Structure 1
């Protein structure tokens, strides 16, 4: 519980509870990063003194005004909460740098590359490069395509009645009768085939190769394990056992300087 986040840690220090859970894990970091982190943590006056060991790598701490995303390897941008990531998403979008979060594939807010329009465009690019696509990918692609100039008149509504091979190559695409001659040249841009809107649409307009995973990952610092306890109206409850119809989370009201019970 951090003071700069608007909370007063002392308000939580003397709460009654029947048991204590000490977290037995930490993120292992290189030695130099570990030293820097300990210097920061040591500034907290009231805290439990716990020792965390670094990795066996020396490492280094680099302070920079702006990240150099041209460096080799995968880059990860972490924020304390989703709100803090908004400016970084804007930063990346304004520089036409694609990003994703492979650790939260179901959250499309972190994964423009997981949206239906992105997957559809990916299938189109595969066909342009002579790569076969699966039946479900073909149906998804057609569903998201601009019909005018790309799909044979009247065929978009009939695709649900059509049968395809489990994997469809260029010959199958041509034989299907679904597409216009101009589409089958596979020379159209993604913008000519799909209506690009929203975050994923903007990213598609400027992405060099959508078949490659982005090298930049955006996410939050901490994902709590299911056995980590949180304070509720019924005391300390493991996250995995929280009941939205029963438990309310404890919060601290900065203005009134008192504990409050938050929403479910």
Structure 2
């Protein structure tokens, strides 16, 4: 079954892999803001060969329903806006989805906004999370650039702001087969409801500063008791003004690791899928040890 009603919203998801008595982990892939589970097309088959793989479209994204005004937890929502698009709302859906498909505990592989939702799961629902893989997470910023981003989404053209913002963190497109990625990413945003796009980014950059801005976020992330693998694009760390050691400092489990990839963009798992898959599968394989 590819659709399940979660917290009143119809969510699309796939569930693949051996399942049952397989010794492999259950891996939950969580995409980023204004994206969808198609982002993981180069990962699903590779991971499903060894693990059960669940890949949902978050509420308001892809084939999943957009919540109606007034739905969700109400975190950071404003009167007259599309509510229920706060990172904690996404995490609450994932909690219910894990229960609905009888999947916990899971290794959560979260990209961008999905890495924040994964961290919320690890902190607030630790029994459901075996480990977290944070892929170019958008936390660790200082307050000023986050406030500037939020202000930009209060303008009349959230679609234009989003395409410009995300277009600026695309990769160099030197790897074969990556030339069309920016077109795909841009066209996907163009097909979304403008108010939904606005609320996704305001939910992250205005209503969830405790999950994004340092030093507040440091106090939150160190509460992740599970192993955390952080994979970051070098340019993303430069923009945030930190390095890979910062991610190590907020991931206290001894099996945690932080790796920095050079000359890649925000979607480096699409640019270099073989390298990404080998890194993450190898790390997941060492969890038991």
TM-score (norm 1): 0.21
Is the radius of gyration larger for structure 1 or structure 2? 1
**Relative CO higher for 1 or 2, CA cutoff 8 Å, sep ≥ 6?**
1
